[in-house]
Amino acid sequence: MKKILALVLALALIATLGITSAFAADEGFVDGKFTETRHITVEIYNRNNDGGTDPTNNVWTEYLKQGMLERYNVEVEYVSVGRWTETDDIAQLLADGQAPDVSYTYGYNTIISYANMVDANGNPGVIDLAPYLEEYKDYTQNIVTLLGGEDNLYYDKDPATGAVWMIEGVRADTSRITTFIRKDWLDKLGLALPTTEEEFYNALVAFRDNAEQLLGADADKMIPYTTSTDIGWRNDLLCVSKVADDISDETLFVYGYDDRHLLYPGYKEGVRVLNKWYNEGLIWKDFGLYTDSEQEDNNMKAGYVGAFMHNWDYPFRNGDDCINLNLQRNVGEDAMFVPIDCFQDDAGVTRKFMGAAVGSDRKIFLPSTNKEPLASLLYINFISDPEVIKYLQTGKEGENFNLTADGAYEILPATGEWVKNSGNNIDYTMTCNGLYLGEATGATTALSYPGIPADIVITANEFGKNNGRYPLHYNVGTIESETEVGTSLTTKRDELFTKAVTASVEDFDSVYDGLLDEYMNLGGEEIINERIEKLEAVYGIKYEK
């Protein structure tokens, strides 16, 4: 099915592109500005959030449009793409020849797949940015500075062909996943904050066994620990704690195709623990029935949940409608999820395998239907300007923030036109994920969640990157086998996780191993082998499985 889809898209591109591959400098660009107004379209996520604004037309887009027109004489038009359907949406827009001039996605292989879709003249479906980055390097300095150097501008440069199909965004804050637990429940039961897996397990058992004391008439709704169908993300800290601390960077690369760390040696034992918890009634029994977060969030807000793992700021997000503030309103002032860091590996370290600051966030690319590559590159440079980022992240004083005496931005719960559709306006700061405010960043982070105590925010952020390990970046070019499998491996992985967690304890190994074999036969084994081959070909490293 995926190969058929790729063929259909490729044929559609052949019919719609007709783009020449030759590069030519833009003669209408003089002294850093176009002599005649140019027009580009830019992708913007639509999250369809309640109380939000039209993502294509609001105060933030007006600021960006005006800035681009004044600085470069470029008109900008925004194109809405569904946040949760973005891969399919962009694929369809590409096939129709209507993809935004500036597009972005989280999937590296998604872009490589587009680049491999060539027209009748052999031109790829994505513009090779290498000649533009060289010709106009004086106009990409904001991007270079944001990414931390010119090397990172060429982070994905193909070592064989020299092609650059995308520009990486940067994670200004690399904090990732944190574990949260109900401190008020611990206090009622006379338990301390867990510092080990055993203590965490004992707390879950205590929640289950004391449901009537903790929930009264709602005791049957007790959920000691909640998760979702995205087992790999939502339980990462537990699962990677079973990976040996001395694992090599080469092994992390060879088995690092899956961003949920499925193939890391030892990972299975973490899933085994989840299976044990599920069979003991410690995990939300209905987690496999829901693919979105609404019901799970409602359970947390209502006060039925004891603990969970998620993005480091998850219980603080969404302003007045966040989980913690709803919990306090529904249960009591003392009700609060607080961060803990308790899953230790064989070296006694609460290890996190982190995405590097560059290479683990969104990737920006220009489809070949783009007739204004220079104007598009200038847009990417514009949104990478630290002053532009600061405005988009902080907004208008009195509406979005108050400036404190020490220079921090105290974020306010904005309303009306000043609402941000995404945290820190991440959908507009597409090259920057996380606060990027210089010396004011740390203090601002603590004040970025109205109503949440600053110490809890700071601790959650610190725990999300505490003992973080950033695997070495091996740039071996495109792993062709990865681009061929599409989402089939992701679907199989999630099936594996859900079925393995919910299997009986006796059937766990057969279910897990059987589905893992299917995963490997679908393309996992080919990916591992190709990674080993490329590692030796480019770096001379011989790796034995």
CB-based contacts of 490-498 (< 8 A; 24+ apart in sequence): 490/258, 492/518, 492/519, 492/522, 493/232, 493/258, 493/260, 493/262, 493/519, 494/229, 494/230, 494/231, 494/232, 496/262, 497/229, 497/231, 497/232, 497/271, 498/229, 498/231, 498/288
Tell me how far apart the alpha carbons of residues 263 and 252 are, in angstroms, rounded to a whole number.
9
Q: Give the sign of the dihedral formed by CA 274, CA 279, CA 282, CA 287.
A: positive
CA distances, 9 to each of 2, 303, 416 (Å): 11, 47, 40
Residue 63's pLDDT band (cuts 50, 70, 90): very high
What superfamily would CATH give domain 2-174+360-389?
Periplasmic binding protein-like II (3.40.190.10)
Q: Answer yes or no: are the C-beta atoms of 463 and 339 closer than 8 Å.
A: yes
Strand partners, 474: none
pLDDT recorded at residue 513? 98
Q: Give the sign of the dihedral formed by CA 318, CA 324, CA 325, CA 327.
A: positive
Buried b (16+ CB within 10 A) or exposed e, 123-148: bbbbbbbbbbbebbeebbebbbebbe
Task: Render pLDDT for 257-309 as a digit per residue (tens, 0 to 9).
Answer: 998 999 999 999 999 999 999 999 999 999 998 877 889 999 999 999 999 99
Tell me how far apart the alpha carbons of residues 281 and 185 are, in angstroms, rounded to a whole number.
18
Lowest mean pLDDT among 59-68, 107-116, 386-395, 406-415: 107-116
Strand 337-340 and strand 177-182: the pairing is antiparallel
Work out the mean pLDDT of the chain and round it to a whole number.
92
Taking the C-alpha atoms of 158, 253, 104 and 399 in order, what is their torsion angle to the nearest 10 degrees? -130
pLDDT recorded at residue 1? 37
Name the percent of the chain lying above pLDDT 90.
81
Strand partners, 394: none
Tell me how far apart the alpha carbons of residues 79 and 318 are, in angstroms, rounded to a whole number.
24
For range 474-497, the mean pLDDT: 91
* DSSP reduced 3-state for 267: helix
Nearest to 213 by CA among 185, 181, 190: 185
Nearest to 370 by CA among 33, 48, 41: 41
Nearest to 156 by CA among 380, 374, 433, 476: 476
For range 325-337, the mean pLDDT: 97
Tell me how far apart the alpha carbons of residues 481 and 458 are, in angstroms, rounded to a whole number.
41
Radius of gyration of the chain (CA): 24
CB-based contacts of 287-293 (< 8 A; 24+ apart in sequence): 287/226, 287/227, 287/228, 287/229, 288/229, 288/498, 288/502, 290/228, 290/229, 291/228, 291/229, 293/228
Residue count of the chain: 545
Q: Answer yes or no: are the C-beta atoms of 392 and 62 closer than 8 Å.
A: no
| Architecture in CATH of 177-353+471-539 | 3-Layer(aba) Sandwich (3.40)
Q: Answer yes or no: are the C-beta atoms of 397 and 404 closer than 8 Å.
A: no
| DSSP per position, 17-54 | ----------TTEETTEESS-EEEEEEEEE---TT---
pLDDT recorded at residue 3? 40
Task: Render pLDDT for 64-116 as a digit per residue (tens, 0 to 9).
Answer: 999 999 999 999 999 999 988 887 888 888 888 899 999 999 888 888 888 88
Could you give the angle at which helices 59-72 and 373-382 cross, rounded to 10 degrees?
A: 120
Q: Answer yes or no: are the C-beta atoms of 471 and 249 closer than 8 Å.
A: yes
Residue 153 has pLDDT above 60, yes or no: yes
What would the two tokens of residue 535 be? 């590692």
What would the two tokens of residue 167 be? 């520009």
What would the two tokens of residue 315 be? 């219980």
Q: Which segments of the chain belong to CATH 3.40.190.10? A: 2-174+360-389, 177-353+471-539
* DSSP reduced 3-state for 140: coil
Q: Answer yes or no: are the C-beta atoms of 274 and 231 closer than 8 Å.
A: yes
Residue 531 has pLDDT above 80, yes or no: yes
Lowest mean pLDDT among 57-61, 225-229, 345-349, 421-425: 421-425
* DSSP reduced 3-state for 101: coil
Residue 22's pLDDT band (cuts 50, 70, 90): low
Residue 12 has pLDDT above 60, yes or no: no
Tell me how far apart the alpha carbons of residues 537 and 160 are, in angstroms, rounded to a whole number.
11
What would the two tokens of residue 329 be? 């309103």
Tell me how far apart the alpha carbons of residues 349 and 466 are, in angstroms, rounded to a whole number.
9
For range 323-337, the mean pLDDT: 97
Taking the C-alpha atoms of 59, 62, 64 and 67 in order, what is their torsion angle to the nearest 10 degrees? -130
Tell me how far apart the alpha carbons of residues 310 and 316 are, in angstroms, rounded to a whole number.
11
